[in-house]
Structure formats: structure tokens, C-alpha cells
Amino acid sequence: MSFQESDQEKSFDPLDRTLLLADGKDDLDPYSSDDGVLKARLSCGHLVSPESLTAACRAQLDEGKYKFKCPALVGGRLCNSPLSYREVRKLGDLTIQEMQYFEENIARLAAADYSDIQRCPKCKTNIERKDMTNLCVECSVCSTGQSKPYHLCWQCLKTWRGPAPRSDHCQNPGCKNFELELLRTCILTNLPQVRGADAVPSIRACPTCGQRVEHDKTGCKNVICPRCQKEFCFVCLKLTPECLKTSSYFIPCSAGVAPRQTSIPVWRRI
């Protein structure tokens, strides 16, 4: 479903004893003033209005983050204290439509984190790929009652053709890994704030989970993967602690600029 802004003006019930309410500025709104409107106190101590909390958590959700964190600035740094969905739902005063949007997307993102799921193009049921290195996958629903199992290609979603198992492509015309193609053909760029970071591929695959990541070309060379939350160097592709052994946040490490990636890491969760 799509998300639409609520037409209802939200406000906290001053008689609700389950809330910690106070007058004060909204810590999530830099332009907020002490307007006499009651704000609710988050578990981390920051004051929020329903609108600001809903907008902040919606932005995190739209970035692929379903484990919410407080985005209030504390001394120039993000608070980043964890916020449960229950807290977000209550203090954001979510409408029925907003709850549906949040819960559908939280479920989708959580499922993507812990399994590889696609919809079979023939029967429209969801199927899970258990072997991340094999593109040839059986649909048990389509195989039921048939003389032989129905296999499809996880990449092009067509009936599997050719030998299996395969990790790169099947023999259907045009079957190719578009993620790898993007890594191979993306433009080269530079990171203005990082000395010597020239001719860096503009798109990288996270070295931990394979998630596609782009650098916003501001700040230091390190990025945090939106899926696995690991921090790594966009230049050399080492995890940040390893990279910083021979460099700093604004100087490439001794390994220099890593070349274009020719494979995508598979996230092996423990």
C-alpha cells in the first residue's frame, strides 16, 4: 500500500497516565519552539510530537530500516537509542492507515533480512530460496501432481533451462545478474572530503551482506549498510575497524581504491 499523510491533527491526551507528557521544544524538529503544546517523552528522554515521531520513523522505514532509532541530535551526534515499534505506534499516535503501512513494511523488511523470498510467476505463491548460491529453485506448489518438479530461475523468474546448480545465470536468453551488471558499469566518482579518493566506483556491494550501497559524497569515506548495519570503507571495501588500522576516516588505507566488484557477497547469518 502507499502512504498518505493523515488529515487528522494529532495531539496527546493530557489525562493519559501511560504517557510522560511535558511542555517543551520538540527534539526532532530543529524549528520547534516551546509553544505550550504537550510533547511526549521517549524512553531515551527526548520530547516529541506525534507528527515528528511518525515522520522520522517513516523516513527510516523508507530507507529500509525497520529497527527504529531516536534521531534526536545530542551535541552534534544522533541519539540512536532503540525505539520499539510499540513505542512508535503509541507516541506517534498512528492512525489505522499508518499502522497498516508500518506493519506491512516492517514484515517485508524483516522477512528479507532472514530469508530470500520471491513470488512464483506461475502460481503467485511466495517461495524461499534456501541455498543462496544456487539460482535453480523448485516451486513445490507448481510441482504438486506433476510428473517432474517445476524449477524456475531465481534471477529471471522463467522456467529453468540448462544444467543446475548454477550461481550466475540459466540458459534463458537475457538472463543475467543485473546487480553485478550495475557494479560493472556504474560511473567512477570521487569523494571530495577524502584525500586521494579518486576514480571510486559509485556503487558498491556491502562486503558483509551484498546490499547495494551508494555514498552521498559528503563526510568521511565510511558508510553504514542499511541492511546489516555494518560500517565499511567505501574506498577499500574493508570493514571500518580493519581499514582504520592503516589510515584515518579521511585518508584511504594502504590498500588504495578497491577495483570494481565481480561478485556479490552472500550474507551468511549465524
Q: Are 69 and 82 in contact (CB under 8 A)?
A: yes
The CATH code of domain 21-112 reads 3.30.40
Can you tell me the distance from the alpha carbon of 10 to that of 187, in angstroms, rounded to the nearest whole number? Answer: 45
The reported pLDDT for the residue numbered 140 is 94
pLDDT of residue 270: 54
Which residues of the chain are modeled with pLDDT < 70? 1-8, 112-115, 268-270
- Is residue 96 a contact partner of residue 109, using CB atoms and an 8 Å limit? no
- Phi-psi label, residue 107: left if phi above 0, alpha if psi -120 to 50, beta otherwise: alpha
Question: Which element (helix H / strand E) includes 128?
Answer: strand 126-129
Give the whole-angstrom CA distance, residue 257 versus residue 190: 11
**pTM of the predicted model as reported, rounded to 2 decimal places:** 0.55
Whether the Cβ atoms of residue 53 and residue 125 lie closer than 8 Å to each other: no
The reported pLDDT for the residue numbered 2 is 45
| 8 Å CB contact between 266 and 253 | no
pLDDT tens figures, 128-142:
888 877 899 999 999
User: Which residues make up the CATH 3.30.40 domain(s) of the chain?
Assistant: 21-112
CA angle 158, 164, 165 (to 5 degrees): 105
Q: Give the Cα separation of 43 and 18 in Å (integer).
A: 12
Contact 81, 44 (CB under 8 A): yes
The C-alpha atoms of residue 227 and residue 64 are separated, in whole angstroms, by 7
C-beta atoms surrounding 129 within 10 Å: 16
pLDDT in tens, 175-224: 988 888 889 899 999 999 898 888 999 999 999 988 889 998 888 999 98
- In the three-class reduction of DSSP (H, G, I as helix; E, B as strand; rest coil), residue 90 is classed as helix
**Nine-digit cell string for 75:** 551535541
Cell of 203: 556503487
